[in-house]
Chain A
Amino acid sequence: MNLFTITDLSKEYGEGGAKVSALKKISLTIPQGKFIVILGASGSGKSTMLNMLGCMDRPTSGKIYFNETDITAFNKRQMTDFRGENIGFVFQSYNLLPDLTALENVEFSTELANLSRTEAENALNMVGLTERVNHYPAELSGGEQQRVSIARAIAKNPKVLLADEPTGALDFNTGIMVLDVLKQIHRERKTSILFITHNQEIAKIADMVISLRSGEILDMYENDTILAPSEVTW
């Protein structure tokens, strides 16, 4: 079953001479339950695509179907509800709320989904942060903050996890640790994961790779051999 079906998706920024086409009539299907890497250099349109899939932005034209639902037809309120119910986000710069502790940051998400505190604690256990739950973001390392961000995203059991360069700001070892966590979530919870990166090595851990360049699909393939995070290097 397809998670997303995308048809003729375009996104333009700016007007007149300053107009930039970030996505140019992209059409593709994204299957459910896969770990998918969207690969591309800066400016290739991968973050723009992720924003469209996560109802964070509207396309200029084209359609996106989530299962059978046209999410591009949503109004603002429906977009908000959709994000709250179905999507978990992990950002490159973590985007934790600085005034809340690690546990509270995760609870902020579970409360929204009317889930109990236990779900938040479980999510933090899963990313290995049991000991740091009462620390504030400023008291955590980059890797720890990113794991809190992952816990926040998965705690509400989203149907899909959208990760925008989650290892981009991390050193190699911490990056591998984050990849391990994401793979574990994918394995144990069967959550679909769309992982954006410009790092070709990371693409080797994915079930499927969608390669973008200048707003167009350059390549799309399934890995014959899927490596474990510990097997990749950059």
Chain B
Amino acid sequence: MVKKTTIQLIRKKAKSNISQLMGIILLLSVGAGLYITLFTIAMRYEETAQQYFVDHAYANITVHGAFDTESTRLVAELDGVILAQGRNVRDFREDKRIFRAISLTDGINIPFIYDGRLPQNENEIMLLNRTANAMGFTLGDNLTLGGRIFLITGLAASPEYIYLVQNERNMMAQANSFGVVFVADGFFGEGYNEIVILADDGVSVNDISEMPGVFRVVMRSDQISYNLHLDDLEQLRSFAYIFPLVFAVLIALVIYVMLSRTIQKDRKQIGTMKALGVSDKKIMGIYLLQFCLAALVGALMGGVSSIILSDIIINIFSSMFEVPTLSFFFYPGLWLSALLVSVLLCAISGVIALSSILPLLPAHTMRPRTPKDSKRLFIERVSFLWKRMSFNTRYALKNSLRNKGRFAAVVLGMCGACALLAFSLGFNDSIVSTRDRYFNEFANYDVIVSFDPIPLAVSHPALKRLDESQKALVMPVEIFGSNYVLAIVQNDFDMLNIPHYALQTGVIIPEFFANEWGVGVGDILQAGGYSVIVSAVVPQFLALTLFTGFDYINSISDDIPPVYNMIYGRSEDMPTLIAYLIENGIDFSTIDDDRASFYSVMESMSVLVIFLIACSIILGFTVLYSVGMINLSAREYEYMFMGVMGYPHKRILSAHIKEAVIQLVLAIPLGFLLGYFLLENIRGEFSGENFVVSTAIFPQSYFIAATVVITVTALMALITSRHIRILDIVEGLKAQDD
């Protein structure tokens, strides 16, 4: 049992070590807060979304084509199919807005109704809640669609539209320009253009593909919205692992150095306690209890701050994706693990620090630490250089390298802070770089026009309105069991920056897929039942697509009809062109629409990036402040002694600053390297079939990271300066004697 005086001692020691303990609390609250927040969001998002998919019967398979009631019945009878329902999906352009009308199915893709009710006749519709919010509709309003007026009876969310995906290029459409409405059976005429299926593992995609009227079968795992959901989850998990891990290493380092200093400072007191007969276990308890309590408080503060942070981030995310019941949730296991890791981190650091003192017998502990053997520095051997240095510089160099452990800890602390900043800023740079490389270097079109396939020989009305145009047939192709987008284009295709020569000899594939599939130029790839040659591999960052020429496709297959369903074009007069396309109800997207869509996709990541930059800055400050204080306390006695000897304040400070400069010179380049290394390693986690992150840290980001580190170090120098000025030389030396 811990006795009263021991508790008093722990309490009072904690009071006198308050600055170190506050440092520990701050460090751990940032670390634990980040860990709990990121994991809470990732876990909550995954669980809520999965439950949402189950509760609202998110279809496992969506079949595109032309169907009637009979063909739907036949699909429903296939093995593994639990429920199959026909529906119609059609886009309506109303001025500059596109509305996707979806006929409601019974028991599949059930909307989550926020307000109102389902439409019950052909004059009623229900809107996606985010569509209503973005376009300013409310319950009871009228909406015009295809020249008819409809009453809005409900506001809902749909498991199919967690992300507002318009098509492959416009993966996150702007809610004010693209909306989804749900309509009752009578809205469309007879027949369906889609069948949605709930199925179990026994279902065969081939069986479905062979059914009459089937044009394309899309598994849930191939749906863009579902993939975006999985990608975001993966990214959240990556951040949740990597960032807290880097933080934990830095925190452990700082805590260890902090505790070592505290324990070394108390060396004589520890010796006295041992002399009085206090056991090592009890001494360990006296120190560890205060540090572990600080860790507990820090982790709890982190947990509490995570409640607020998680809610804020979830709210921001809600504008990017919509899972209706997504909200903060308390995961006891997560909190407990954060508390345990924090306490363990402190306890282990404390035990390691104490292990240098506790094994000693009291007679040794009560004596001051024996100075280590001094060796000549490497630079001292370069006498030409060494002799030319001022005493002050030589002193700073010797001081820096005398205690290699502390020196390394300070350099690593600075390096870690710099790396986290470079990484966080670099992440943002990578997003910008990805965007710029696609839109400035890869994409050469102004507009893409989409329509149902028409023969190549037939001219689409849009062609006459374009200054330059090229036809393409864009279709899904199955490779390694998954569907990818294949664009068959003309041999002189120059709307995207791909090598023309390779269009006639094979298939051009994105570098990301080449790495994923382990193929290169000249290799054979099985695509949609055909063996095709990989004729080129190109870096592609968005809307990853495989390209080939009409001539090459004709040379390997007779099955693909000579049709096109897309026109890439350029126009000098975009406003007139857009007006024409709208007026004629032609589906299109401009490069500006695509850019806006990219921004929307990246927006969710930007929230994380801002959060991480903020955390990096807080942690950077805390680490730099802590290592600065360590530097200062390690030197305090020397500075006092220099003061006794008559050294002016300026020269003492100059010695301190020179030491910090040596540390900065080493730490900043190392921080840059570490930051880039982290970014390069995390890149894969953020790349997928929708986009590939291009690693980049811009010079200004390096500059900002270095400036922050230097500024905080300079602030520490100011604090040091003030501290040196107010040092009570006589009392200090007395204390050292004691």
Give chain B interface residues in 250-298, CB to chain A under 8 Å: 268-269, 271-280
* C-alpha spacing A80/B251, complex, angstroms: 34
CB-defined contacts of B12 to chain A, threshold 8 Å: 99-100
Q: Which residue of chain B has the shortest Cβ distance to A54 in the bound complex?
A: B275
Contact A95 B9 (CB under 8 A): no
Report whether B366 and A107 are in contact in the complex, using a CB–CB cutoff of 8 Å: no
Whether B276 pairs with A83 at a CB distance below 8 angstroms is: yes
Of the residues B16, B275, B738, contact of A56 by C-beta under 8 Å: B275
Residues of B within 8 A of A54 (CB): 275
Contact of B15 with A99 in the complex, beta carbons under 8 Å: yes
A152 to B5, CA, bound (A): 13
- With A80-B274, A80-B280 as contacts: A108 and B16 at CB distance below 8 Å: no
Given A80-B274, A87-B277, A93-B738, decide whether A111 and B366 contact each other with a Cβ distance below 8 A: no
- Which among B6, B8, B277, B364 is the interface contact of A57 at CB below 8 angstroms? B364
List of B residues within 8 angstroms of A77 by Cβ: 279
Contacts of B363 in A (CB 8 A): 51, 56-57
The answer, yes or no, to whether A104 is at the interface (CB within 8 Å) is: yes
Asked if A195 is an interface residue, CB under 8 A from chain B, the answer is no
* A57 and B276 form a contact (CB under 8 A): no
Q: Secondary structure of the B side of the interface?
A: helix
Give the residues in chain A near B364, CB-CB below 8 Å.
57
* Residue B4, interface by CB 8 Å: yes
Q: Please measure, in the bound complex, the distance between the C-alpha atom of A111 and the C-alpha atom of B7, giving whole angstroms.
A: 11
A50 to chain B, nearest CB (A): 9
Closest-by-CB residue of B relative to A87 is B277
Given A99-B12, A99-B15, A99-B16, residue A84 in contact with residue B5 (CB < 8 A):
no
> 0/1 per residue, B363-387, Cβ < 8 Å to A?
1101000000000000000000000
Contact status of A104 and B278, CB under 8 A, knowing A58-B361, A99-B16, A111-B4? no
Give CA–CA (A76, B274) in the complex, Å: 11
Interface residues of A in 45-96 (CB under 8 A from B): 51, 54, 56-58, 76-77, 79-85, 87, 89, 91, 93, 95-96
Alpha-carbon distance between A101 and B269 when the two chains are bound, in angstroms? 15
Answer whether residue B510 sits at the interface, using C-beta atoms and an 8 A cutoff: no
Q: Is B13 an interface residue (CB 8 A)?
A: yes
Given A57-B364, A89-B276, A104 and B5 contact (CB-CB distance below 8 Å): yes
A83-B5 CB under 8 A given contacts A56-B362, A95-B272, A99-B13: no
Query: Is B464 an interface position by the 8 A CB rule?
Result: no
Asked if B361 contacts A112 (CB within 8 A), the reply is no
Q: Is B388 in contact with chain A by the CB < 8 A criterion? A: no
Chain A interface SS verdict (over half): helix
Q: Is the CB of B275 within 8 A of A104?
A: no
Min distance, Cβ A43 to any Cβ of chain B, angstroms: 14
Cβ of A95: which chain B residues have Cβ within 8 Å of it? 268-269, 271-272, 275, 366
Q: Which residue of B lies closest to A81 (CB)?
A: B277
CB distance from A34 to the nearest CB of B (A): 22
Q: Is A232 an interface residue (CB 8 A)?
A: no
Beta-carbon contacts of B335-370 to A below 8 Å, as 1s and 0s? 000000000000000000000000001111010000
Residues of B within 8 A of A58 (CB): 361
**B90 sits at the interface (CB 8 A):** no
B61 to chain A minimum Cβ distance, whole angstroms, is 71
Bin chain B's interface residue count: 20 to 34
Judge if A192 is at the interface, Cβ distance under 8 Å. no
* Inter-chain contact A80/B277, CB cutoff 8 Å: yes
Kindly state whether residue A97 has any CB partner on chain B within 8 Å.
Answer: yes
Is the CB of A211 closer than 8 A to any CB of chain B? Answer: no
Is there an interface contact between A104 and B272, defined as CB atoms closer than 8 Å?
Answer: no
B404 sits at the interface (CB 8 A): no
Q: How far is the CB of A171 from chain B (nearest CB, A)?
A: 16
Q: Which of B9, B278, B737, B738 is the one whose CB lies under 8 Å from A100?
A: B9
Whether a CB of chain A sits under 8 angstroms from the CB of B148 is no
Give the docked Cα–Cα distance between A79 and B4 (Å): 25
Nearest-CB distance from A114 to chain B (Å)? Answer: 9
Taking a contact as CB atoms under 8 Å apart, the answer to whether B278 and A112 are in contact is yes
Is A111 a contact of B6 with CB atoms below 8 Å? yes
Check if A108 sits within 8 Å of B6, measured CB to CB.
Answer: yes
Q: Contact mask B11-33 → A, CB, 8 Å, 1/0?
A: 01101100000000000000000
Specify which of A56, A83, A108, A152 is in contact with B9 (CB 8 Å cutoff). A108
A109 within 8 A of B: yes
Give A108's nearest chain B residue, CB to CB.
Answer: B5
Q: Which residues of B contact A85 (CB under 8 A)?
A: 277
B738: which A residues are within 8 A, CB to CB? 93
Which of A82, A84, A95, A107 is packed against the most chain B CB atoms within 10 Å?
A95
Using Cβ atoms and an 8 Å threshold, which residues of chain A touch B4? 107, 111
Q: Which residues of the other chain, A, contact B16 by a CB distance below 8 angstroms?
A: 98-99
- Report whether A57 and B269 are in contact in the complex, using a CB–CB cutoff of 8 Å: no
CA distance A98 to B17 in the complex (A): 12
Tell whether, in the assembled complex, residue B277 and residue A112 are in contact, meaning their CB atoms are under 8 Å apart: yes
Whether A99 and B280, one on each chain, are in contact in the complex, defined by CB atoms closer than 8 angstroms, is no
Query: Are B9 and A97 within 8 A (Cβ)?
Result: yes
A149 and B436 CA atoms in complex are apart in Å by: 75
Q: How far is it, in angstroms, between the C-alpha of A83 and the C-alpha of B277 when the chains are bound?
A: 5
Q: Which residues of A contact B9 (CB under 8 A)?
A: 97, 99-100, 104, 108
Chain B residue numbers with a CB within 8 Å of A83 are 274-277, 362
The closest CB in chain B to the CB of A86 belongs to B277
Question: Chain A, 204-229, contact with B by CB distance < 8 Å: what is the 0/1 string?
Answer: 00000000000000000000000000
How far is A98 from B274 in the complex, measured between Cα atoms in Å?
16
CB-based contact A108/B275 at 8 Å: no
B707-738 with Cβ < 8 A to chain A = 737-738
| Chain A positions within 8 Å of B271 at CB level | 95
Bound Cα distance A128, B554 (Å) = 111
* B274 partner residues in chain A, CB cutoff 8 A: 80, 83
Q: Are A84 and B361 in contact (CB under 8 A)?
A: no
Beta-carbon nearest neighbor of B14 in chain A: A99
A91 / chain B contacts, CB cutoff of 8 Å? 272, 275, 366
Known: A56-B362, A95-B268, A112-B277. 16 other contacts (CB 8 A): A56-B363, A57-B362, A57-B364, A79-B361, A80-B279, A80-B280, A83-B275, A83-B362, A85-B277, A89-B275, A91-B366, A96-B272, A99-B16, A100-B9, A107-B4, A108-B5
Identify 6 residue pairs between A and B in the complex whose beta-carbon atoms are under 8 Å apart, listed by A's number.
Answer: A57-B364, A80-B279, A87-B277, A107-B5, A108-B276, A111-B4
Q: Which B residues form the contact surface with A (CB < 8 A)?
A: 3-6, 8-9, 12-13, 15-16, 268-269, 271-280, 361-364, 366, 737-738
Closest 5 CB pairs of A and B: A84-B277, A99-B12, A57-B363, A56-B363, A83-B277
